[in-house]
Chain A
Amino acid sequence: MIRSRASLWLQGWRRFADNKVAVIGLAWLVLFSIVALWGRQLAPYPMHYANLFAGNEGPSLSHPFGTDSLGQDMLTMVMYGLRYTLAVGFGATVVALVVGVLVGLTSGLAARWVDEILMRLTDFMYAFPGFLFAAFIIGVFHGAIGVVIGVFGLTQWAGFARLTRGLVLTVRHSELVESGHAIGASSTFIALRYILPQVINSIIVYTAFVAVNIITLQAELSLFYGTGPALPLISFGQLISQGTQDVLGYWWLLVMPVGTLISLLVALVVVGEGLQAALNPKGNRIL
């Protein structure tokens, strides 16, 4: 008779699992994460192992993604690229999430003037030319990974802040919370049972989309401005920009990294949409 949140998460997971496309996307992400975590061990060749006699070879059994002009194995490079990209994507998303949720919570719960100030700041950050700023800072620090994570995290939190504030305001003045007070529940009970669950689902969903955004930005940045990490790290942007130079003769140099990057983004979007439908089925918030 007492179905509760645990089984609701289960229900959510079931709804998610019913969505075949989303499950494939999730599997893809898991695969990529494994590659990123144990890339060093899994890569077929050491990084920057150059075999000048095997330069610009097309895909083959020994080099499934082909080799570049220096004879470096593209699969290895792509795996390292994935490692860097996921580290940045994950790290920066977490930073944006933490900052944004904290700002949003404060804004939604604190006094009016605090709210005013924080929302001004948020609006400013929303309109802020984060891309140029990031390009500048990252250029100065030569794409050191900590800096990249910090910069992207700190330019992308505004969306989280707005979302969280909106959710908190909705829930805080909802009849649900009032009915909690009416039965004599404590504030902790209300926060944990009524407010948090409502807020969490939407934030989880939004996280997937922010990750997409950050990964795209980061790739664009190193593609257009050449600001990538210093060797031995490598980003997709760098790989792709190298690939574009040789694209006419050696398509795999471009197609392999681009394909991997796009499949990563598509997987994230698909998982995000799946989460949306599974966790927020009634999310008929319009326009």
Chain B
Amino acid sequence: MSALFQINDLAVSFPGRDQTVYAVNGLSLAVEAGEWLGVVGESGSGKSVSLLASLQLLSATSRIDRGQVWFDGRDLLRLKRRPLREILGRQIGVIFQNLANGLDPSMRVGQQVMEPMLAHAICTKPEARRRALDLLTELGLSDPERQFERYPFELSGGMRQRAMMAVALAAEPALLIADEPTTALDTTVQLQVLSVLQEACRRRQMTVIMVTHDLGVATNVCDRVVVMYGGQVMENAEIDTFIQASVHPYTQGLKGSMIPLNGTHAPIQAIEGSAEIFHQVPRGCPFVARCPVAFERCHTERPRLLSLADGHEAACHRVEEATARVG
């Protein structure tokens, strides 16, 4: 099966005067057409940086050390600005994590939603207006016609997030890259918005890569989940496997730190330690300092992504030894 979008061995760093931050260290992932891929992992694990870098949207302080990003038979990292712009907004829609960055504060909301359709000459202005209104209505925004005339700062956080989503969806892209697209939404609106995305996936084979912290969201909508840590893939599993048979110690920790909803005041199980910033490319497993089951090999040797079953991979020495013993 050939992938629609594929990141190969991507490495991104932020060179500083004193020290360099190695944010992404050899990340590879692929999505097939019509698939919904979830990317989870804690703050600083390189989710945003890797996706932004793959679209050449990172700021000038970053450096792409190596890697390729294949989309539609082309390596996006080698594309010049102009052909890339043709692709962005039209074939690839992007929803940014940072609410402040996604919308132009000096431009009316409606104009921004119509922009991708007009810029890529997809339809006429009245048609674009109609489509934009439909989209905003579908996303559950009240008074869509009147919202058209407002500036972003007049919208509430969740309204802004939905406006941004409308911009990303306007040109009916083949691939949607969504970085935490529902963090500012209440549970009911979140459901509605996710159902719109799901509809688009079903109806016209839209592919989604969605970054999220919320395992509830990931497990309810994604076909497959990639777990990241230290700018690398730790585990990659079909959703059923992810829910029932995930093996990586970091994935286990992540699942354990969910806050239960019971109104009681039980202490929360967070993963020990806090997210690290890597000033050197990690030599062994990036998770080693916080892993409860680490042993010597984890410090010195980088675990390779081992295929455990069809559609299930994990990068962990413990797992590798356990499978070696069984098999």
Interface residues of A (CB under 8 A from B): 14, 18, 162, 165-166, 169-170, 173-175, 276-277, 281-287
Contacts and interface: CB of A to CB of B under 8 A. Distances in A.
Nearest to B100: A174
Contacts of A14: 17
B98 to A, nearest CB: 9
- State which size class the interface on B falls in: 10 to 19
Given A276-B60, A277-B60, A282-B59, A287 B85 contact: yes
B101 A285 contact: yes
A170 B105 CA distance: 6
11 contacts: A14-B17, A18-B17, A165-B106, A166-B105, A166-B106, A169-B153, A170-B106, A175-B100, A276-B60, A284-B52, A284-B57
A287 B101 contact: no
A33 B74 CA distance: 46
Nearest to B58: A284
Given A18-B17, A283-B59, A284-B58, 12 more contacts: A14-B17, A165-B106, A169-B106, A169-B153, A170-B100, A170-B105, A281-B59, A282-B61, A284-B57, A284-B59, A284-B101, A285-B101
Binding site secondary structure of chain B: loop
Nearest to A175: B100
B60 A169 contact: no
Contacts of A285: 101
Given A166-B105, A285-B101, A173 B59 contact: no
A14 B16 CA distance: 11
A170 B110 CA distance: 18
Contacts, number: 39
A285 B52 CA distance: 12
A175 B99 CA distance: 11
Contacts of B58: 284
A283 B100 contact: no
B105 A281 contact: no
B41 interface: no
Contacts of A173: 105, 153
A173 B156 CA distance: 12
9 nearest A-B residue pairs (beta carbon):
A173-B153, A166-B106, A284-B59, A170-B105, A281-B61, A169-B105, A277-B60, A169-B106, A282-B59
A18 B101 CA distance: 28
A195 to B, nearest CB: 13
B85 A281 contact: no
Contacts of B100: 170, 174-175
Contact of A283 (B17, B60, B151): B60
Contacts of A18: 17
B294 interface: no
A173 B154 CA distance: 9
B153 A281 contact: no
B151 A169 contact: yes
Contacts of B60: 276-277, 281, 283
A169, A173, A287: residue with the most chain B Cβ atoms closer than 10 Å: A287
